Amino acid sequence: MKVVTGTRYLGDFIRSPTLRSDWLREKASFWERAVKTMARASKKLPQTAYVAMKKSLQMEWQYVHRTVSDAGTFFDGIEEALASEFLPSLFGVDENITCKYRKLDTVV
């Protein structure tokens, strides 16, 4: 466990736009890897993976979306990981999740 103190999540990012972009890219990359990890876990523990996604990861990235302007442009990798790995694994299908399936879940 890593304990972090500071004010990274309190409002918009306060440093230069370059540092803000680097920080967002790093966070989005971490979340994308976490979604892929949850996809692997969902094959054996679907409820656990789903709850971890809803109660932890999704809350983190939703907060960043609400507080950091133009953060959405960094989330394409997360969107792809959800549609091509996590949701197919969770629903037990071998295809990319289309809009038809995505209406069944509010993760995305």
pLDDT digits (tens, 9 = 90+) for 8-56: 555 556 667 788 888 889 999 999 999 999 999 999 999 999 999 888 8
pLDDT band at 106 (very low <50, low <70, confident <90, very high): low
Give the least confident one: 35-39, 58-62, 69-73, 95-99: 95-99
**Which residues touch 83 (CB under 8 Å, ≥6 apart)?**
96, 97, 102, 108
Average pLDDT over residues 55-82: 87
Residue where the block lists tokens 């736009």: 17
Q: Please state, in angstroms and rounded to a whole number, the distance separating the CA atoms of residues 30 and 63.
A: 15
Res 32: pLDDT: 95
Domain boundaries, given as residue ranges, for the chain? 17-102
